[in-house]
Amino acid sequence: MKKATKKEIEELKSILIDKYKDAKTELNYTNEYELLISIILSAQCTDKRVNIITPALFEKYPNTKELSNANLDDVKSLINSCSFFNNKAKNIISMAKAVEEKYNGIIPRTQKELICLAGVGQKTANVFMIEYENKNLMAVDTHVFRVAHRFGLTSEKTAIKTEAELSKKFKTDLHILHQAMVLFGRYICKATSPDCAQCIAPHLCKTKDTFKAN
């Protein structure tokens, strides 16, 4: 597959920022605790489903103190329509306990600290910091990975390596570009039957093939 030129990358960057400069996550939250929980639950699950699940969860467990003392089976029952709910229930309780014990109930704000929490990997940590603090970071989910490959921005096989390459090529406005590529991939540049008629940069597309991270 042909790789995008530096000029094409700059053009795509400009188009994405112009189209999606005001875009925000579609997850519903009111504070950093709710945001982190929602991001953890959203792994391999739709934001729409997470938004259905979380109101009851947050009503019963409104903070890390309450969640750290939660009954595992009760949490499972509240999120059982979410993919991998058994592991996610264990993780969010463990995360809450760690935040209470190590950070006095305050969600940490650095990647190094966040990825030490149960259920939080590099992508989750970056998404949290992108959304809550507008950090100049890139996070690669299935949509970003697919869009990046279709536009010839990378040929890397893993999300982490793709993140590094996108960060190097785009350099600035990464928080906007992350959200732009998520929404563009979710609604237009879909895995199957991409809506090419609605593409914002059809002249820059290299392929319609579907790509998945290893």
The domain spans of the chain are 6-23+137-204, 32-133
Do residues 22 and 214 lie in contact, with contact meaning Cβ atoms separated by under 8 Å?
A: no
User: Where in the sequence numbering do the catalytic residues fall?
Assistant: 123, 141
Asked if 173 and 13 count as a contact pair (C-beta separation under 8 A), the reply is yes
List CB contacts of 40: < 8 A, sequence separation 6 or more: 88, 91, 92, 95, 119, 120, 124
Buried b (16+ CB within 10 A) or exposed e, 95-115: bbbbbbeeeeeebbeebebbe
Task: Determine whether domain 6-23+137-204 maps to CATH 1.20.1420.30.
Answer: no
pLDDT by residue, tens only, the chain of 214 residues: 789 999 999 999 999 999 999 988 999 999 999 999 999 999 999 999 999 999 999 999 999 999 999 999 999 999 999 999 999 999 999 999 999 999 999 999 999 999 999 999 999 999 999 999 999 999 999 999 999 999 999 999 999 999 999 999 999 999 999 999 999 999 999 999 999 999 999 999 999 898 888 8
Residue partners of 77: CB distance under 8 A and separation at least 6: none
Residue range 9-49, pLDDT digits in tens? 999 999 999 999 998 899 999 999 999 999 999 999 999 99
What does the mean pLDDT of the chain come to?
A: 96
Structure confidence at residue 214 (pLDDT): 82
Q: Which CATH number fits domain 32-133: 1.10.3720.10, 1.10.340.30, 1.20.120.1200, 1.20.1300.10?
A: 1.10.340.30
Identify the pLDDT of residue 91. Answer: 98
In this prediction, residue 1 carries a pLDDT of 78
